[in-house]
């Protein structure tokens, strides 16, 4: 039995279409964040796709100590609250420490556990106790079936509002690969599964003091993942990725989102119709 996870008026784990989680990697400034949110809202409304807006108020796991991390929790959460209010969008962002949880839970609709922290018991349990939906990103070092343990840490609090996100697996130095079997395996745990296509093409530390990326492969990996019947697709989006202060090399240009999203929704429609017919 698949759990259905309600995020505002949006629901993960239903039939179709999948939910899009999208936004800039980090909050660079208020105006840019609002413009990207507005653009994404317009696109998804036209195409009939539900949207959860994602942006990080703090990126605590940057490669170098000098890397841009965001605007900090207080300022960042104020901007996210404005996005939520003005565009009527559910909001997702990362939490990195137990001390952030109470303030973040007041604004965020989904608390995201970063991939590097997916085994942190105290963080998972404290997040679960908020009763909020929790998105656990699978560590690049973790087998998909081992996500059961992170799930159980959240479930131990009585919270079953859990999303699981695949973002690639470490393959040698400065490289990730996407194993599409992981999406099927994690979904067998009984919770909605999301594919983070833009982080899956990241080259961790591949640009020396920062991560590189291969955004030219985002479309191909997204199409493959949607064809497995996923519940959500995760894209980092920027107006000008080459000028982005965080993860620009693996982010999608906002101008390309509508065309790519149309492709994904068409595949999703065919695949889920076929799966539904197979259940009859």
229-242 pLDDT, tens digit per residue, is: 999 999 999 999 99
What is d(CA 252, CA 213) in angstroms, rounded to the nearest whole number? 11
According to the model, what pLDDT value does residue 280 have? 45
pLDDT band at 277 (very low <50, low <70, confident <90, very high): low
pLDDT band at 199 (very low <50, low <70, confident <90, very high): very high
**For range 200-211, the mean pLDDT:** 77
For the chain, the domain total comes to: 1
Residue 96: which CATH number? 3.20.20.70
According to the model, what pLDDT value does residue 275 have? 74
Boundaries of domain holding 130? 5-279
> How high does pLDDT run on average in the chain?
93
Strands 252-253 and 176-177: unpaired
According to the model, what pLDDT value does residue 67 have? 78
**For range 88-98, the mean pLDDT:** 97
What is d(CA 37, CA 49) in angstroms, rounded to the nearest whole number? 14
- DSSP string across 219-238: HHHHHHHHTTT-SEEEEEEE
**For range 76-97, the mean pLDDT:** 97
Task: Give the side-chain half-sphere CA count within 13 A for 235.
Answer: 30
What is d(CA 1, CA 171) in angstroms, rounded to the nearest whole number? 33
**CA separation (Å) from 154 to 105, 142, 193?**
15, 17, 16
């Amino acid at each position: 039995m698949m759990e259905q996870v309600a995020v505002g008026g949006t629901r993960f784990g239903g039939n179709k279409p999948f939910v899009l989680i999208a936004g800039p990697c980090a909050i660079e400034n208020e105006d840019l964040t609002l413009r990207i949110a507005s653009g994404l809202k317009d696109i998804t409304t036209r195409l009939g796709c539900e949207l959860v807006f994602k942006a990080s108020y703090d990126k605590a796991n940057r490669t170098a100590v000098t890397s841009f991390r965001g605007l900090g929790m207080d300022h960042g959460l104020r901007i996210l609250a404005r996005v939520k209010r003005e565009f009527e969008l559910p909001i997702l962002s990362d939490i990195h420490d137990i001390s952030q949880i109470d303030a973040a839970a007041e604004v965020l609709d989904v608390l995201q556990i970063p991939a590097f922290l997916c085994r942190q018991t105290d963080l998972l349990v404290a997040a679960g106790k908020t009763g909020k939906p929790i998105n656990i990103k699978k560590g690049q070092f973790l087998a998909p079936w081992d996500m059961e343990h992170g799930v159980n840490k959240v479930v131990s609090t009585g919270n079953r509002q859990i999303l699981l996100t695949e973002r690639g697996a470490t393959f040698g130095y400065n490289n990730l690969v996407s194993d599409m079997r992981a999406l099927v395996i994690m979904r067998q745990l009984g919770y909605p599964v999301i594919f983070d296509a833009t982080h899956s093409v990241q080259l961790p530390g591949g640009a020396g003091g920062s991560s590189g990326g291969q955004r030219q492969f985002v479309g191909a990996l997204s199409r493959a993942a949607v064809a497995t019947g996923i519940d959500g697709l995760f894209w980092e989006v920027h107006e000008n990725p080459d000028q982005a202060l965080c993860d620009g090399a693996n982010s999608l240009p906002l101008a390309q989102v509508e065309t790519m999203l149309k492709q994904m929704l068409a595949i999703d429609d065919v695949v889920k119709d076929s799966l539904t017919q197979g259940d009859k």
